[in-house]
Amino acid sequence: MSELAHRRFLKMHGAGNQIVVLDLRGTAIRVAAGEARAIAEHPRSAFDQLMVIHDPRLPGTDASLRIYNTDGSESGACGNGTRCVAYAMLDDPAMARPAESGRLTLETQGGVVSVKRVAERSFTVDMGRPKLAWDEIPLAEPFQDTRRIELQVGPIDDPVLHSPGVVNMGNPHAIFFVERDPDSYDLARIGPMLENHPIFPERANISIAQVVAPDRIKLRVWERGAGLTLACGTAACATVVAASRLRMIGRGATVHLPGGDLVIEWRADDHVLMTGPVALEWDGNFPPEMFSPEGSA
């Protein structure tokens, strides 16, 4: 039987981004890819990202996180999920610990991030510095200017999408800026094709963005390993960075996603801050029958 059987979880969302939070501090349990897929497939625990809290490994951090997509692959960062983790570690009766205050420092595969409460159900996450060099994103071939790279969808003389900006915000992102409503594009078809394009050796999150005002952006996102999502925090951060580099906006904007709004600021010290809400839907325990023998392998 899987060691995750009967374990308690929180079902949450951050601006519509479906999140499951699982606290494994004080144990040696690790989530296998098959177990993550099984959790994602169950109606009560379906997620865009599974945020697993482990004991801290680095000095000065409060916990380390492992982040899983619905296909069982791991993600380097998830801003919406990090806000949900902050709520769990600070407010949930079963997960909160007395020593923890309104600020947390968390280790992810994408780097160390800090998070602080700004309202009862709102948190700001310091997502760190964006990576902009072609080999940091990474891309399969050199591009000296990553503000726009040579990539398009559709005919050469009349492409549907072309020349995305690319940014790594813990995960690789490609952002296509368009003049018409992002809802008018078939991202469910375009997303998986571009996510797995050879130019992205680690795959990529694919976004379609429309700058609707100097401080507002409308955004839709296809997340690698998860698909269409109502919100993606790292994509919102990457989009503001990419738009700012093209001088389409200043260094901050409110990003409108299908699930809600995120406020993004690219500070002068190069750190990207994301502020947004969290919501608790329910808590529960994983039923043993959720995990097939291969799921716990």
CATH of the domain at 117: 3.10.310.10
Phi and psi dihedrals of 168, rounded to 5?
-105, 120
The angle formed by the CA atoms of residues 16, 90 and 262, to the nearest 5 degrees, is 30
Cα separation, 233 vs 67, whole angstroms? 13
- Looking at the fold, whether 179 and 252 belong to one and the same domain comes out as yes
Residues 227-276 have pLDDT tens digits of 999 999 999 999 999 999 999 999 999 999 999 999 999 999 999 999 99
In this structure, what token pair is assigned to residue 294? 């291969």
Of all residues in the chain, the percent with pLDDT exceeding 70 is 97
Q: Are residues 120 and 222 in the same domain?
A: no
Q: What is the dihedral of CA 276, 112, 216, 209, to 10 degrees?
A: -110
Ranges of H-type helices in the chain: 33-41, 79-91, 187-195, 233-245
Q: List pLDDT tens digits, range 15-38.
A: 999 999 999 999 999 999 999 999
pLDDT score at 98? 67
What percent of the chain is modeled with pLDDT above 90? Answer: 95
- Report the SS3 class of residue 182: helix
Residues 108 and 160 in one domain: no
Q: Could you tell me if 86 and 38 lie in one domain? A: yes
Determine, yes or no, domain membership for 104.
Answer: yes
pLDDT at 2 over 90: yes
Do residue 159 and residue 221 come from a single domain? Answer: yes
Q: What is the pLDDT of residues 97-140, one digit of tens each?
A: 865 678 999 999 999 999 999 999 999 999 999 999 999 999 99
Residue 297: pLDDT band by 50, 70, 90 thresholds? very low
> Within its chain, how far is the Cα of 97 from the centroid?
25
Give the separation between CA 250 and CA 173, rounded to whole angstroms: 20
In-domain check, residue 67: yes
13 and 123 assigned to the same domain = yes
The answer on pLDDT for 223 being more than 70 is yes
Q: Where are the beta strands (DSSP E) in 170-297?
A: 172-177, 205-213, 216-223, 227-229, 252-257, 260-266, 272-277, 279-285
Q: Note whether residue 90 is domain-resident.
A: yes
Tell me: do 86 and 171 sit in the same domain. no
Give pLDDT, residue 296.
Answer: 41
Looking at residue 206, its pLDDT comes to: 98
| 161 assigned to some structural domain | yes
- When pLDDT is averaged across residues 4-23 and rounded to a whole number, the result is 96
CA-based nearest residue to 255, from 279, 281, 220: 220
Q: Quote the pLDDT of residue 4.
A: 97
Q: Domain limits at 251?
A: 152-274
> Any bridge partners for residue 206, and if so which?
174, 222
pLDDT of res. 295: 42
SS3 198: coil
Question: Closest Cα to residue 62, out of 103, 22, 10?
Answer: 103
159 and 95, same structural domain?
A: no
pLDDT tens digits for range 67-108: 999 999 999 999 999 999 999 999 999 999 865 678 999 999
Interatomic CA distance for residues 139 and 194, integer angstroms: 13
Whether 75 is in a domain gets the answer yes
Q: In the numeric block, which tokens belong to residue 113? A: 């991030």
288 within domain boundaries? no
- Co-location of 195 and 100 in the same domain: no
- For residues 47 and 227, the answer to whether their CB atoms sit within 8 Å is no
pLDDT on residue 101: 78
Residues 92, 157, single domain; the answer is no
Q: Decide if 198 is inside a domain.
A: yes
Residues serving a catalytic function are: 78, 232
- Say whether both 169 and 236 belong to one domain: yes
Contact 203, 224 (CB under 8 A): yes
**How many domains, in total, are found in the chain?**
2
The verdict on residue 14 lying in a domain is yes
Residues 122 and 158 in one domain: no
